[in-house]
Amino acid sequence: MVYYDKNGIVIRDLQQSDAQIITDEEIAQGWDATIDKYEMRLRHQAEGKSIALVAEWNGSVAGYVNVYPDAQSGAFANRGYAEIVDFGVLEKYRRRGIGNKLMDVAEQIAFSYSDVIYLGVGLNSGYGSAQRMYVKRGYIPDGSGVWYKDKICEPYADCCNDDDLVLYLSKSK
């Protein structure tokens, strides 16, 4: 399904062929990427657990995001809230409005399922542009503090500033 098509940006459902393209592009960026994550997103989409989206820029895969209408993990798990998961725009396509349009579509879908949507954002510098974007879009911290490996990181607990160290943010309709 195509959700948006204008000015060279297309937002559509993730397809099997996209998984390898995204993986190869992330590896080319120097990321430690495997196709497993995208194959899982495709399975979740086929099972009706999520809506997996891809952004194209002038016909090339440029970004991705997933919406879980009834999230089962994170700060708002099992409350009937939609979660936006694993948002990314490949580095060579950034600063073209692709990320904002991808988030517009993801939020529209998420808000069709619940009045509150949430997401987790990494705390290391690699997530800096995403952190700024989420604040500009009206997301606020949920108040539970920092999470590490899908659990609240208790005060003074050991953790690592890797991709598993996140802050959950939410936004209401």
pLDDT in tens, 45-67: 999 999 999 999 999 999 999 99
Q: Whole-number mean pLDDT of the chain?
A: 95
Which pLDDT value is given to residue 24?
Answer: 95
Domains delineated in the chain: 2-172 (3.40.630.30)
Give the residue, 146 or 74, on which the prediction is more confident: 146
The average pLDDT across 134-153 equals: 94
Counting residues of the chain whose pLDDT is more than 90, the rounded percentage is 90
Q: Are 139 and 105 in contact (CB under 8 A)?
A: no
Residue 148 confidence class, pLDDT cut points 50, 70, 90 = very high
Beta bridge partners of 8: none
What's the whole-number mean pLDDT along residues 30-51?
94
**What per-residue confidence (pLDDT) applies to 104?**
97
Q: Would you state the pLDDT for residue 166?
A: 96
72 pLDDT exceeds 90?
no
Q: What value does the mean pLDDT take over residues 98-104?
A: 96
Residue 48: partners with Cβ closer than 8 Å, 6 or more residues away: none
Position 55 scores a pLDDT of 98
Q: Which two tokens stand for residue 123?
A: 């705390």
Q: Can you give the pTM of this predicted structure?
A: 0.93
Tell me the C-alpha to C-alpha distance, in Å, between residue 107 and each of 81, 83, 98, 171. 12, 9, 14, 10
Per-residue confidence band for 74, with pLDDT thresholds at 50, 70 and 90? confident
Tokens of 22: 């995204």
* pLDDT (0 to 100) of residue 32: 85
> How many CA atoms are closer than 13 Å to the CA of 131, on its beta-carbon side?
10
The predicted structure's pLDDT at residue 62: 97
